Chain A
Amino acid sequence: MIASVGTDLPLQVLRATGRYAGPLTWDIDRAFPLAGQWLESKFATWAFSILEDWAQGRFDALDAVVFTRSDDNAQRLYYYVCELRRRGLLRGPEPILFDVGFIGRATSAARTVASVRALASRFGVSDAAIEAELVRADAASVPAPAPAAGPACLLAGTPPPDERVSAMIAAAGFQPHGDTLEQLWARECPGVAVGTGDPCAAIGHRLHEWQPGPRGFFNRGAAVVQAARAVSAKAAVLWFVEEDEALVWHLPAQRRALAEAGIPTLALSRRSWRADDGLDAEITAFLKEVAA
């Protein structure tokens, strides 16, 4: 079986193997005695959890884990896992790094296409199997569900580990809208062209354009306003954790853009990914004020 770590991966290729088990998951509400010896403090908490599980043998049933290069935590964790395996400190699945480029030049697009081909070749997946997976995904795509009733609140910034932050928003009487990291990692690159005769190239070019992860090149101020308007948000929570070194650089621009759009915003930075630092009280107070 094969698992994955991160966004921006060609999940269609992994699914076409018939052995894809989905993204690795985490349990962050515990200690990490083994991983803590090897990882430095600025690694994301999920990286500690995954490495701890790896060291405890919880992934031993897997054959391979594909890491993305689009996230600094994921790509560094790949090198650490390789080194720990070399030193005999870890066993378990083979780590593989998927090289995805985002720079808006032909060289980066070509690199991404080559990476998709290399991954397919590594797993022995034929173009026909990948094409069949693209056709299946295209047929299975469904429109987004209609928004639930009640005022909407956009949750943006660092993707939370699970529904815990959304639950805080819901408890304050608002409909939360925002992806968890778990959802982002499981999301397949949309809109890949079918019937091109070269499915790896089709996936590679689309991945190069897609850019959902922290390394994407786009105007994140405009994007957050667009996301808020798409759900008619009455409020927004911009939430960034201590370890975030990428998305947090857009906090000033996103805050400004939301203010200009007239959307009340609670901006929080340097927070705990566990959301155990008084976040619920702050969200409740903020949304109560918005609702008043």
Chain B
Amino acid sequence: MTTPTGQRMRQTLACTAAANAYQKQFGIDLKRRVVDEGEPFAIVQADTPHEIFHVMDIPIITNQWWSAYISAKQLSGRYFEVMAEHGYPENSCKYCSLGLACTLANDPKTAPWGGLPTPTVLVARLTCDCIQHVFGQWAEAMGTEFFAMEAPAWEHKDPRWFAHSNRDWDEIYQPDRIALMVSEMRDLITLLEKRTGRRFDEAKLHHLMERINEQEGYIWEANQALAKARPCPVSIGEQMSNTMIPQWHRGSDWAVNHARRFRDEVLDRIAQGQGAADDERIRLMWIGAGVWHDPGFYQALEERMGAVFVWSMYMPFAGPQYIRELKDRPMEALASRICSMNEVLHLPPWMNGWMESEAERCGLDAAVVLLPPDNRLSQSGTRLTALSLEQAGIPVLMIDADMVDAKNWDHDRMVTLVGNFLTEKGLA
């Protein structure tokens, strides 16, 4: 993202262009609402209950989305310098702090949208050591409030959580943890109602949750078919776009319809025997955030070795972590979706239990793991997951690189590294 490599992602689905076009228009509309019309809005982390804001029709800017937007404007390098100029060490977590850097730069001439106006609130779950400090300082710099949410201890450790989380979410995520998050969400709603004058309606949340179930059901259905299909019908780049863009708008008419369209296109390609690559011989798993600065990386070994990245977390996550039986308790169902969203991706036994199962379900031959050097949260759980996978017969390659900082990324060197690994393991 810092310095795009120029290697582009191939697109095979018509819906991918539609998703990208929608997201571009969404950015324009969001700017109009927030900057031009001065609507109240919030800055939130990805693993917070966006549904509350959707129900109240309060625009949100997701920190991760804003970081990607900044990077797409080629500003991340400048903002890393700003952080250094303000005295922050260079190894500070880059994934979370680009938005703070943009605010600290205080340069409306170059900032995206001229910089953000003051939000009503910033919201984050405290899932790592840095986030409360970053969001606390960001809120202070913007002259507003930080609403933190706890990431409580999780004692019920079920390595096969994913097999029954849709239904048994009370048990899996622990009733006391769910109750805590519901209480926190009610405090957040009170704050939002007071500050914005907008009302929260639980009946609306119930409807939204049903629509989200429908949306995630399409994505999950497509993923289950994709896992069984040979060859893999869609690249992981297109899996990410068509899962994550609707995810930012989850439950909206557009998102539900788009998920259905994506499923239909995936099923259609499977029916026609079409693959993401021409000659699929090796099926690979990608563990970690996407390498946003080099989307072409994932397709680089297809022609030479028939090595296809089939799996990344984004699309299959829709099934176990989003779909919820509502049980007439939409707040609790929502809390169960959010209260462990980060933990299941970064802590044992949930992370390794799920990924080992996924490797088997999708018939994967090897895994490549991103190991960002400066971020404990992003690194977390990777070594034990590698151990699980290797014990299951899946060779693992760990790559030291950052998902948002291209400084230590060399496209050709990384492609060669993966190629050599596959050769050494006798897969190519």
Q: Which residues of A contact B (CB under 8 A)?
A: 37-43, 69, 71-73, 75-76, 79-80, 82-84, 86, 97-99, 101, 103, 105, 107-108, 111, 114-115, 214-215, 217, 240, 242-243, 245-246, 248-253, 255-256, 267, 269-270
Contact = CB atoms under 8 A, between A and B. Distances in A.
A240 B92 CA distance: 12
Contacts of A105: 184, 187
A43 B376 contact: yes
B348 A37 contact: no
Interface of B: 86-93, 126, 128-130, 132-134, 136-137, 148-150, 152-153, 155, 157, 159, 176, 180, 183-184, 187, 347-349, 352, 371, 373-377, 379-380, 382-384, 387
Contacts, number: 118
18 contacts: A40-B382, A41-B373, A43-B376, A79-B348, A83-B348, A83-B349, A98-B153, A103-B150, A105-B187, A215-B129, A217-B136, A242-B91, A245-B93, A249-B130, A250-B133, A252-B87, A255-B87, A270-B90
Given A97-B155, A240-B89, A251-B88, 12 more contacts: A37-B387, A38-B384, A41-B373, A69-B152, A83-B349, A83-B384, A97-B153, A103-B149, A103-B150, A107-B180, A215-B126, A253-B137
A254 to B, nearest CB: 10
A240 B130 CA distance: 14
Nearest to A69: B153
Contacts of A39: 383
A40 B132 contact: no
B136 A270 contact: no
A41 B374 CA distance: 9
A111 B136 contact: no
A86 B379 CA distance: 21
Contacts of A114: 176
Contacts of B376: 40, 42-43, 72-73, 76, 243, 245
Question: Which 9 residue pairs across A and B have the least CB separation, nearest first?
Answer: A249-B133, A252-B87, A83-B348, A40-B379, A42-B376, A246-B129, A99-B153, A72-B129, A269-B89
Contacts of A245: 93, 128-130, 375-376
A249 B92 contact: yes
A240 B149 CA distance: 27
Nearest to B155: A97
A88 to B, nearest CB: 12
A249 B134 contact: yes
Contacts of A84: 384
A97 B129 CA distance: 17
Contact of B133 (A43, A97, A240, A246): A246
Contacts of B90: 270
A42 B380 CA distance: 9
B89 A248 contact: yes
Contact of B132 (A38, A215, A256): A215
A86 B349 contact: yes
B384 A111 contact: no
Contacts of B133: 246, 249-250
A245 B96 CA distance: 12
Contact of B129 (A103, A214, A242, A267): A214
Contacts of A252: 86-88
Contacts of A75: 153
B137 A42 contact: no
Contacts of A72: 128-129, 376-377
B150 A101 contact: yes
Contacts of A251: 87-89
B152 A99 contact: yes
B143 to A, nearest CB: 16
